[in-house]
Structure 1
């Protein structure tokens, strides 16, 4: 095998390798190509995902608003409870004062030898 034959054989082998690689690449891309149906399905999935994210965001906003209203109401109820507790304590003190006053008045009205 002389030099020219060697160069020709090498060129043919390299060209054949290039053609086989190109055919393999074409077949691979042809098999893994995204079809219009796949794109339509992906578009539908993206739209549904977007709608679900919007629904989630709306639910979170509604939840935060409800939590805020509940916190305000809880603060109001705690204030009312504290005011009621203070009023009850004042009423109890007033009742005790009245009992003591009544007992003193009754003690003064009883004759000295009478039994209570």
Structure 2
């Protein structure tokens, strides 16, 4: 086998390998391409995911609003409780003063 024949045989082998690789790549792409039904399913799933995320965001917003309302009510209730306790202390002090006053008046008789 001389040099020219060797180059021709090598060229044919390389070209055949290239064609075989190209055909295999084309075949894999053809077989793995998503169908229209698959694309429709993916679009539907994407839409459902989007709607679920919007629902989650709305639920979080409502939860935060509710939490803020409850915190405000709690603070108001604590303030009212402190005011009521303070009034009760003042009333107890006044009652004790009145009792001691009455006892002094009764003791003088």
Counterpart secondary structure, 2:80: helix
Deviation at residue 48 of structure 1 after TM alignment: 0.5
Greater helix percent: which structure?
Answer: 2
Number of positions where the alignment pairs a residue of Structure 1 with one of Structure 2: 109
d(CA) in 2 for partners of 1:85, 1:37 = 71
Counterpart secondary structure, 1:19: helix
Deviating 4+ runs (over 3 angstroms): none
> Match for residue 79 of structure 1?
79
> Match for residue 114 of structure 1?
none
What TM-score do the two structures reach when normalised by structure 1?
0.91
Deviation at residue 103 of structure 1 after TM alignment: 0.6
Matching of residue 46 in structure 1 with residue 46 in structure 2: yes
Unmatched tracts of structure 2, length 5 or more: none
Could you list the per-position Cα deviations for residues 26-81 of structure 1 after superposition, in whole angstroms to 9, with x for gaps in the alignment?
11111211111111111011101100000000000000110111111111101100
What does residue range 13-52 of structure 1 map to in structure 2 within 5 Å? 13-52=13-52
d(CA) in 1 for partners of 2:11, 2:76 = 91
d(CA) in 1 for partners of 2:54, 2:5 = 71
Bigger relative CO (Cα 8 Å, ≥ 6 apart) = 1
What TM-score do the two structures reach when normalised by structure 2?
0.97
> Match for residue 88 of structure 2?
88
RMSD over aligned CA atoms reads 0.7
d(CA) in 2 for partners of 1:107, 1:76 = 46
d(CA) in 2 for partners of 1:17, 1:58 = 59
